[in-house]
Chain A
Amino acid sequence: MKRFFIATLLLAGGSAHASTPEQRGFQVFRQICSSCHSLNYVTYSDLTGLGVSVPDIKSYASQHQVPDGLDEDGDPKTRPAHPSDHIGSPYPSESMARMANHGGLPPDFSRLALTQEGGPQRIIHILKSYTAPPAGTKLPLGAFYNTAMPHLHIAMPQPLHDGQVKYADGTTATIPQMANDVTAFLNWTARPHLKARHQTGIFVLAYLAGLAVLLGILKRRVWKRLKSPE
């Protein structure tokens, strides 16, 4: 039995190679999106929920520097991030983020799939709707042509290009593929415990359903005493 569990654990751990859309999406986030977008409420160790291994999480975290108080001279110090730190923003402050993006603030990714009107489908649609503007189109400064937007332009430059990411599992990184994957990742950040939620729910409902049947029988038996003459 113990061996069975260990084998299952190894299989689950080994799934980093046969990667899921969420894991591929994380790779897209890590290599592309995270250069502008923040994940302010997600910690590095939360990524275990995606099946990312602990050593991978540690090495990912240690590539980032986080503020660490002041040194003896009163100058700000930094240290490599721990797995328990928030992934946070690539910019040191909101004003820096705005300065780097023509005054716009790249939205935080933590709950974007939930708060974005139209949800995940809309995100995929926006990511796939970059085309060359028709001749003679005048775009405002810092805006890019995107047919999904009501005014046909968006402040985000086209983020995805074919073959931009080399997927660990060998999947071809086309724009639609990456858009789907990164949205699966965003859906996970917005609803981090969805799988555990559904699994727990099935057990709870099954238990309650069984209990309801038993209580139904008990109730009928008890109330029968009233109807039959004593």
Chain B
Amino acid sequence: MGGSATRSAAREVILTLVVAAILIAAMPLLIGTYTLTVLVIYGMLGLSLGLIWGFGGILCFGQAAFFGLGAYIYAISAVNIGESTLPMILAVLLTAGFALLLGAMMFYGRLTDVYLGVITLVVTLILFKFINSTAGPQYVIGEARLGGFNGIPGFQTLNVPGDPGAYIWGDALYYVCAVALVIVFLLVTWLLRSSFGRIAVGIRENETRMALMGYDVAARKTVLFAIGAAIAGLAGALFASWAEIVTPTLFSLGQSAEIIIWCIVGGLGTRLGPVVGAAGLAYLEFVLGQQSMIDNTLIMGLVLVIFVLFLPRGLVPAIASLWQGSVGAFGRRRPVRRMRRARHG
């Protein structure tokens, strides 16, 4: 059994890599790489919430806070350091550290779901208000002025590690972001197959039972929460490098709500769903932004309502079960076990 599990894992990694390589190569033929880059970054952000909500049962209303925090940490440290490698690492680690503290406070305080949502929401609001109010010249970290509502422009964007003059932008930035997303996706896959990931799913299903079996639920949720925040922080840093400016709107409530909608539409409890939901809806919004007939948010609201009513499990699970049904009708060549895995992720 152990051998076959390893083999199926290896097969899945190869399949992921092949599909990803084809998509990365083919997508620029359809959509410009500038837009694609941000779609990929949003995909990573969607995955970060998809991990902690879909597999850990932690509904965080403030995933945008970690996204914005990653972007700001990157921007501030890039201004001060003048090279992008260390700021990238800082953006991931400091965001995770912040989430670790926040998570420990919430999970050891035994807050239930609703209060957890409220607290993460309020933290996002506080960050938004605070950054907005930093317009004065006294708000300086090193050489970086926080700049209030105007944000921080003109920081060092992503460069080849060790060579600040060799900027990574345009097509190259797209490929870097896409590869980063694939790596994060594979890491999430590995995490979910590990004991830690399986235990996290157990906690999602029944916290009391897992505690009665001897698992420290608070500690495990805190760690998972921080991992999700680290991914969001990385996405934020990449976003900062793409946009070449960070502004407080990164922390806005609209952004937080959008991430949740991505997960619902794409399919909660799958790894692919939130990525597809994020990229798909962000692209839809981009296309809608080019016309002025109908208000954007109206259509997004409609999409959400349609999905909640007709595809409550989300896009990816729906397609997976459709695929399962059609294959089942055409013969029994595919073993059932693979189908079940496809449904879960």
Are A and B part of the same complex?
A: no
